[in-house]
Amino acid sequence: MKSQLILLGAKINRQHLQLILTIIALAMLVLGVGAPMDGGGGSR
Amino acid sequence: MILLLALGAGLVIGLGWAKLRGHSYQIPRLSYLWLAIVAFLPQFFVTYFERTRALAPDWLAALAIVTSQVLLFLFAWFNRHLPGMLVLIIGLVLNSTVMIANGGFMPINPQTVERIVGEEKIASFESGNRIGYKDILLPTDETRLELLADRFLPPDGFPYQVAFSLGDIFIALGAFWILAYQKSTT
């Protein structure tokens, strides 16, 4: 029972980590290739 | 910000869709995650990170942005099997094309900028100057492929004013689709 809980915990953590990494990679992709201008960033 | 909103909306819809069907959320299987990070870094330092952004001359910023976009294209291409990724790739190609044609930056005309920053602030900008994160202020008649530039705006009076390109629309749709899509398990 205890080992099953540990396995379940490990699975949940792995899935969460995978989701976070996926979102980070997609965020980098859209920020990197998109170019909307919402007034942020100022000028130089 | 608008592109991150599309990602967030896609995730919320995907999670809701999975819950309605009674199964767990299917995370999109992205390959070469490291490539996305490596590809984004040069652009991060010349556009988003204020300290180094101020140090980068325009030629270096343009080079970093274009290099970054080429590497991000490879990342997207390696993951083209994902539903929505091809739509995002279309947007990527449209944005990259107009940016390369205009010296590495996304062109935006003074009238569009005026709607976003206001009449007073626009007077302090000169034609050819970088503006925002990746834009360059250019009159319409000096812009190559103007149809693909940051030329679209939300309706007048809309609380969030943002200028976006045709490519940005495809990118937002693709990003939304990637996270919202849940494969049928029946």
Q: What pLDDT digit, counting tens, does each position of B35-75 carry?
A: 999 999 999 999 999 899 989 999 999 999 999 999 999 99
Residues ≥6 apart with Cβ < 8 Å to B83: B177, B178, B181
Alpha carbon A44 to chain centroid distance? 31
Beta-carbon count within 10 A of B32 CB? 16
Per-residue tokens: B139: 């009159």
Quick check: is B85 in a domain? Answer: yes
Per-residue tokens: B92: 């990527």
Smallest CA-to-CA distance from B107 within B115, B116, B97 is with: B97
Q: How far is CA B108 from CA B112, B134, B186, in A?
A: 7, 10, 48
Mean pLDDT over all residues of chain A?
A: 80
DSSP conformational letter for B58: H
Structural domain span for residue B62: 33-174
Residues forming a β-bridge with B106:
B135
CB B116 within 8 A of CB B145: no
Quick check: is B22 in a domain? Answer: no
Q: Are A39 and B117 within 8 A, CB to CB?
A: yes
Tell me which residue in A32, A37, A42 faces B69 most closely, judged by beta carbons: A32
Residue B75: its chain A contacts at CB < 8 A? Answer: 25, 29
Checking if the pLDDT of A11 tops 70, the result is no
The model's pLDDT over B123-182, given as tens digits with 9 standing for 90+, comes to 888 889 999 899 999 999 999 999 999 999 998 888 888 999 999 999 999 999 999 999
Model ipTM over 0.85: yes
Q: At what angle do helices B166-180 and B2-21 cross, to 10 degrees?
A: 30
Quick check: is B48 in a domain? Answer: yes
Q: Please, which pLDDT band fits residue B99 given cuts at 50, 70 and 90?
A: very high
Quick check: is B3 in a domain? Answer: no
Tell me which residue in A36, A40, A41 faces B150 most closely, judged by beta carbons: A36
What pLDDT, on a 0 to 100 scale, did the predictor assign at position B52? 92
Q: Please, which pLDDT band fits residue A43 given cuts at 50, 70 and 90?
A: very low
Per-residue tokens: B176: 């939304």
Residue with tokens 């001359």: B57
Domain count, chain B: 1
Residues forming a β-bridge with B163:
A37
Checking if the pLDDT of B31 tops 50, the result is yes
Quick check: is B181 in a domain? Answer: no
Q: Are B133 and A35 within 8 A, CB to CB?
A: yes
Residue A20: its chain B contacts at CB < 8 A? Answer: none
Residues ≥6 apart with Cβ < 8 Å to B129: A43, A44, B136, B137
Q: What length is written for chain B?
A: 186
For residue A1, the one-letter residue type is M
Quick check: is B131 in a domain? Answer: yes
Residue with the bigger pLDDT between A15 and A2: it is: A15
Smallest CA-to-CA distance from B151 within B101, B96, B95 is with: B95
Reported as type and span, the H/E element at residue B75 is helix B58-78
Beta-carbon count within 10 A of A16 CB? 11
Quick check: is B102 in a domain? Answer: yes
Its pTM stands at: 0.91
Instruction: Check if A32 contacts B (Cβ < 8 Å).
Output: yes
Quick check: is B1 in a domain? Answer: no
d(CA A10, CA B137): 51
